Amino acid sequence: MEMQRIDLPALGEDTDRTYRLGIMGGTFDPIHNGHLVCAECAFDALDLDMVVFMPAGSPAFKQGKQVSTGEDRYAMTLLATSDNPHFVATRFEVDRPGVTYTADTLQLLRDLYPDNVEFFFITGADAIADVVAWRNADRVAALAHLVGATRPGYDLGRAESAIESSPYDFDVTYLEVPALSISSSYLRERVREGKSLRYLTPDPVTGYIHKHQLYGARASRYGASNDRYGIRSGEGHKDGQA
Ligand code: ATP
Ligand code: MG
């Protein structure tokens, strides 16, 4: 376990104060500006000290779907967060074998960090509604505050009633994130269709996708759309989501 601590921010050294650590979990396949804006809003609104971006190892909820390797998803996450001094990309889940559950991740973090470090698990409000169905939801409730980012067109009612009907005592803060209906699925679809990712994700991420030919991309000029070469990519990344 000690090895894994290395790429996590050191917090908690001043015992006279508490620290607030944001944890942005996701598949990040690929990471996009929606994730980044969401984390930045949470950082400001909740007065966080740091936000760690934690690409999921083998996410429980994405079993049976084709997902890019942890190495690729981590690399893109690192590229996307590298210019923000309070964002840190971590290999914490990617390096854990087997299916990764949020409750286990939070418990491992709890064991690593001193008690004066509080955890804020940031997630889309859509995911909040599923929290009650998570394995060990009671432990999630005990270990972290939840931050639910609202996505455009999302009805908070579903999240709120799910939390209310849960037997566990979740502490949830809902956060308005500026209109961003960006999703990883949308980006993958655009890559497949040879369309640009400009303004949807940081350019280094686009460069990485093309260099490593993810999502059916052809290696092309940096950031260039395949369209201009008349290239149509074939079967690429498949997923079951719209
Ligand atoms: P996919 O399209 O494959 O489902 P995604 O865009 O939802 O991908 P994930 O990696 O599944 O990306 O999301 C990680 C977390 O970020 C989830 O909690 C999700 O709800 C949240 N999230 C994703 N996109 C946005 C967005 N545009 N604004 C706010 N939160 C988002
Ligand atoms: Mg999603």
Return d(Cα 54, Cα 77) in angstroms, integer: 8
- pLDDT for residue 152: 66
What is the CA(25)–ligand 2 centre distance, in A?
Answer: 11
- Look at residues 26, 92, 18, 6 and name the one whose alpha carbon lies nearest to residue 48: 18
Task: Kindly state the helix (H) or strand (E) to which residue 58 belongs, with its residue range.
Answer: strand 58-59
| pLDDT under 70: residue ranges of the chain | 1-5, 59-64, 151-153, 179, 219-242
Return d(Cα 204, Cα 53) in angstroms, integer: 17
- pLDDT for residue 200: 97
Question: From the CB of 180, is ligand 1 less than 6 Å away?
Answer: yes
- Whether residue 97 is preceded by a cis peptide bond, meaning omega within 30 degrees of 0, is no
Closest residue to atom 30 of ligand 1, CA basis:
124
- Of all ligands present, the nearest one to the C-alpha of 131 is 1
DSSP bridge partners of 25: 54
- pLDDT for residue 62: 64
Question: From the CB of 241, is ligand 1 less than 6 Å away?
Answer: yes
- Fold (topology level) of 18-176: Rossmann fold (3.40.50)
Residue ranges, CATH 3.40.50.620, the chain = 18-176
- Look at residues 25, 35, 67, 31 and name the one whose alpha carbon lies nearest to residue 204: 31
What is the CA(100)–ligand 2 centre distance, in A?
Answer: 16
pTM for the model stands at 0.86
